Amino acid sequence: MQDQEVIALIGQGKDQAAFKALYAHFPKVERLVRANSGTKADAKDVFQDALVIFHRRVRGADFTLTSSTSTFLYAICRNLWREELRKRNKVLTGWDAPETADEPADLTAMVAREGEFKQAEKALHSLGDKCLDLLKRFYLAKEPLMQIAQALGLAGEGAAKTRKYKCLEEARKRYRALAERDLVSNPQHA
Amino acid sequence: MRDELHLMELVDRYLDGVLDAAGATEFSARLSGSAELRLLVDDQRALREGLQRLPVRTAIMQAHRSWSWAKWGPQFGGAVVVAGLITGGVWYAQRTGHTEHEASPPQEQLAPLPVDSAQADSVHVDSVLIFGPPVKEAGDTTVIHQNEGVDAVRQHRADTILVLAPSGKKMRFVKDASGPGRDGSTSAPPDPAAPTVAPIDRQPSYPGGFAAMYAYLKANVYYPVNDTNQGTVTIGFDISERGAVVDPKVVESLDAACDAEALRVIRAMPRWTPAQSRGQWVPSHIEVPLQFKAKQPKGAPEKIN
């Protein structure tokens, strides 16, 4: 499938079809990760994180394809894996991954924020079903508070708003906790 | 609390980019002056992004599975397994009565349906519907059984009809003499407020089918603490022509606590696809039994619910 077709699919919301096509690039990534102290599971995680980044990029504002998706994905994976190895305090001897010229400029920034977003996902997953359901209804389904109140058996719009605030605060608390833990074990270079 | 709620909304509006020029300028000024606010906005940005990613992850996992199948399927005799899954899937779909062509009403407006008059003739009386809530008091009631058909209902002299549904439940309906009669006779000018009897061409449905509804109820029922009663609570409720659950009432009671809990989960159900009759979305009535079995009360969760 051509790059433009995949991007069109994402634009239409046909995510699963797009990802299935993008999986054609997985073997190359798997080789990269395994050649650099990684397991098959590591490769799968790295590749899936890269797919998420790609998807969010495409859906973001002002997206233009500057390099091929293959190059893009590969570059993200390489950076993600290198970052992961650094976190695991593995010494990078004989880093075996070719770099190419046409990579997205803000790759480093993208990868840096990636860790934060993954922690946010983790924090959200650790919430109770009801909190997560409320937040998904509000932020993803964009349901009005009144409708959420009815669906969840809450007294009214005010109750829904308060509950939403409490759930967000709890999510934030857990997210902060994960971020703190990460800072302690992975001191950032000045 | 009000201040915190207000701030939460403000941050969301800022991140959505919907603040007007003045508001945006003011908020940016606040941001540059407060590290705490900057942290809050960053956290909220991360959490919102995390939420957006949840469905993306699901799609990726599904793609991974189907890619794995494509890669390894033939080697494990995948064709046999897939055939088995398809058969199972068809069987399950037929069991839950879920059809692909089910139109679901959009949020604001329900589009008119194409009229299919051929269906109207062969409706059993358990599909009898009333435009308006069933009447509780007994009038001059006559029992009609399901095999007597809608015509029998329409032509009966009684004003109030007792319909015996296949489940064994009896439901009382008031008949409007000016309803669409097969013999074409109308006694009084149609009163728009009076309930009429008309055939339902399609029963209302819960998104995903009754299996999904029971899964939803099971997941959301919190057994009353210290309650060891076992039994069934039946809740009757209307599904409005927009699919909303209206006016749930206890039809068959167990005890006060279980009744209240049953009412709560029914009330909290998401929108249904409403019943269809003659090309229109119409209100209808449903009764759902919920079984309560003696259980340990749900333990103190680490999670907020």
Q: What is the pLDDT of residue B78?
A: 53
The closest of B299, B277, B274 to B120, measured between CA atoms, is B277
Residues of B in contact with A160 (CB under 8 A): none
Flag whether residue B115 sits within 8 Å of chain A, measured between CB atoms. Answer: no
Tokens (6 digits) for B140: 């001059």
Look up the pTM and report it.
0.52
pLDDT in tens, B151-204: 555 555 455 455 554 444 555 555 443 334 333 343 444 444 444 455 677 788
The better pLDDT of the pair A165, A2 is held by A165
Those residues with Cβ within 8 angstroms of residue B70's Cβ, 6 or more apart along the chain or in another chain: none
Q: What is the pLDDT of residue A27?
A: 92
**Locus of tokens 């906790």:** A177
Flag whether residue B53 sits within 8 Å of chain A, measured between CB atoms. Answer: yes
Residue A186 — pLDDT band, cuts 50, 70, 90? low
| Across A66-80, A106-120, B37-51, least confident range | A106-120
pLDDT at A155 > cutoff 60:
yes
- How far, in Å, CA of B41 to CA of B47, rounded? 10
Nearest to B63 among A16, A165, A172 (CB): A16
Residues of A in contact with B5 (CB under 8 A): 161-162, 165
Whether the CB-CB separation of B200 and B277 falls below 8 Å is answered with yes
**What residue type is B85 in one-letter code?**
L
Proportion of chain A above pLDDT 90, given as a percent: 42
Q: What is the pLDDT of residue B287?
A: 83
Chain A nearest-CA residue for B2: A162
Residues of A in contact with B13 (CB under 8 A): none
The closest of B139, B194, B183, B193 to B162, measured between CA atoms, is B139
Give the sign of the dihedral formed by CA B91, CA B94, CA B98, CA B100: positive
**Which residue of A40, A172, A174, A180 is the best one to mutate when testing the B interface, meaning the one whose CB has the most B CBs within 10 A?**
A172
| Contact across the interface for A170 and B270, Cβ inside 8 Å | no
pLDDT at A19 > cutoff 90:
yes
pLDDT in tens, B189-227: 444 444 445 567 778 888 777 777 777 777 777 766 555
| Contact across the interface for B304 and A165, Cβ inside 8 Å | no
Minimal Cα–Cα distance from A36 to chain B, Å? 23
Mean pLDDT within A111-124: 88
**Locus of tokens 């909220």:** B44
pLDDT at B249 > cutoff 80:
yes
**Locus of tokens 């005890």:** B255
Nearest to A127 among B59, B61, B304 (CB): B304
φ and ψ of A64, to 5 deg: -130, 140
| Contact across the interface for B54 and A140, Cβ inside 8 Å | yes
Tokens (6 digits) for A100: 């190419």
Residues of B in contact with A140 (CB under 8 A): 51-52, 54-55
H or E stretch including B160? strand B160-164
**Which value, to the nearest 10 degrees, does the dihedral of the CA atoms of residues A124, A125, A127, A129 take?**
120
Output Rg (C-alpha) for chain B, integer angstroms.
26
Name residues 30-49 of chain B within 8 A of A (Cβ): 43-44, 46-49
Whether the CB-CB separation of B247 and B235 falls below 8 Å is answered with no
Q: What is the pLDDT of residue B171?
A: 54
Residues of A in contact with B49 (CB under 8 A): 56, 117, 120
Mean pLDDT within A16-37: 91
| Contact across the interface for B48 and A139, Cβ inside 8 Å | yes
Q: What is the pLDDT of residue B241?
A: 80
The better pLDDT of the pair B182, B7 is held by B7
Residues of A in contact with B52 (CB under 8 A): 56, 139-140
Chain B nearest-CA residue for A114: B46
Those residues with Cβ within 8 angstroms of residue B97's Cβ, 6 or more apart along the chain or in another chain: B205, B209, B210
Nearest to A20 among B49, B51, B67 (CB): B67
Q: What is the pLDDT of residue A133?
A: 93
DSSP of B199-239, one letter per residue? Answer: E-SB--B-TT-HHHHHHHHHHH--PPTT----EEEEEEEEE
Q: What is the pLDDT of residue B193?
A: 45
**Which value, to the nearest 10 degrees, does the dihedral of the CA atoms of residues B4, B8, B14, B18 take?**
-110
| Across A113-117, B43-47, B182-186, least confident range | B182-186
| 3-state SS assignment for residue A88 | coil
| Across B9-13, B47-51, B253-257, least confident range | B253-257
Q: Kindly give the pairing relationship between strand B197-199 and strand B128-130.
A: antiparallel
The closest of B178, B67, B171, B86 to B125, measured between CA atoms, is B171
Mean pLDDT within A47-73: 83
CA distances from A98 to A74, A103, A108, B99, B111 (A): 10, 12, 17, 52, 57
**Over chain B, what is the mean pLDDT?**
66
The better pLDDT of the pair B134, A158 is held by A158
| Contact across the interface for A120 and B63, Cβ inside 8 Å | no
Q: What is the pLDDT of residue B298?
A: 43
- How far, in Å, CA of B51 to CA of B49, rounded? 5
Tokens (6 digits) for A44: 């799968």
**Which residue of B51, B62, B213 is the best one to mutate when testing the A interface, meaning the one whose CB has the most A CBs within 10 A?**
B51
Nearest to B46 among A56, A117, A164 (CB): A117
Question: What ipTM was assigned to the predicted interfaces of this complex?
Answer: 0.87
Residue A180 — pLDDT band, cuts 50, 70, 90? confident
Tokens (6 digits) for B48: 């919102």
B196 burial via Cβ count (<10 Å: 0-12, 13-18, 19+): buried
Q: What is the pLDDT of residue B195?
A: 42
Nearest to B51 among A48, A52, A136 (CB): A136
Total residue length of chain A: 190
